[in-house]
Chains A and B, each alone.
Chain A
Amino acid sequence: DQQVKQNSPSLSVQEGRISILNCDYTNSMFDYFLWYKKYPAEGPTFLISISSIKDKNEDGRFTVFLNKSAKHLSLHIVPSQPGDSAVYFCAASSNDYKLSFGAGTTVTVRA
């Protein structure tokens, strides 16, 4: 039973524009949410996180929004750069430490 879902397997965006990645979850016990970025042949790299007590967290070009009532979070990348082309994973956890991941969204930034 997949508790974290990323319904868009791919996203293509022009350089300089905004990338918006979406993620939905079903487990109401999740209280910590993360985005990881993955390049081919590498492990996932932590990007940004948000606690359930917040609805927004910003770090440079990356902003994560959390809507607890809708069990939905999104990642905004502004402006998108060619180096942002990668697979992005949404993940969630509760205080049991283990991360539940979505299937990933492949982002391609076009020059």
Chain B
Amino acid sequence: EAGVTQFPSHSVIEKGQTVTLRCDPISGHDNLYWYRRVMGKEIKFLLHFVKESKQDESGMPNNRFLAERTGGTYSTLKVQPAELEDSGVYFCASSQKRFTDTQYFGPGTRLTVL
């Protein structure tokens, strides 16, 4: 069974540009999450989808971040326009139905904003 995949693995952009990150969860997982780790600190929750619906987006930093999950399958996270403080590693995770079901993480996308 394929794990969670993320694309791209690295992205380097200039301040003010737009970047779109993609996440493909494990097939059949209803729950999809985005997290971010900035400068070796703790991994912080961004948002949670249940199928195609946003269940919780309390961790989204501001309205420059837009997440979508098309048809309840893959998800994209767009940052527009990117700022220096958006640099970090963006992780996607997926899980089955219950909150105690294990969240499986992808390898992350390292975003560098110059």
Contact = CB atoms under 8 A, between A and B. Distances in A.
Closest 6 CB pairs of A and B: A43-B105, A101-B43, A98-B45, A103-B42, A97-B99, A101-B42
B35 to A, nearest CB: 8
Contacts of B31: 97
Nearest to A36: B105
A97 B44 contact: no
Contact of A89 (B4, B33, B43, B55): B43
Nearest to A89: B43
Interface in A59-82: none
A97 B59 CA distance: 13
A96 B105 CA distance: 18
A106 B99 CA distance: 27
A43 B33 contact: no
| Contact count band on B | 20 to 34
Contacts of B74: none
Interface string A81-111: 0000000010101111111111110000000
Nearest to A2: B42
Interface residues of A, number: 26
Interface string B69-93: 0000000000000000000000101
Contact of A104 (B33, B42, B100): B42
A110 to B, nearest CB: 22
Given A41-B107, A43-B91, A44-B91, A96 B42 contact: no
B108 interface: yes
A2 B4 CA distance: 27
Contacts of B56: 96-98
B99 A93 contact: yes
B104 A46 contact: yes
Interface string B19-41: 00000000000010101000011
Given A43-B105, A46-B103, A99 B45 contact: yes
Given A4-B42, A43-B4, A103-B41, A96 B99 contact: yes
Given A42-B107, A45-B105, A51 B100 contact: yes
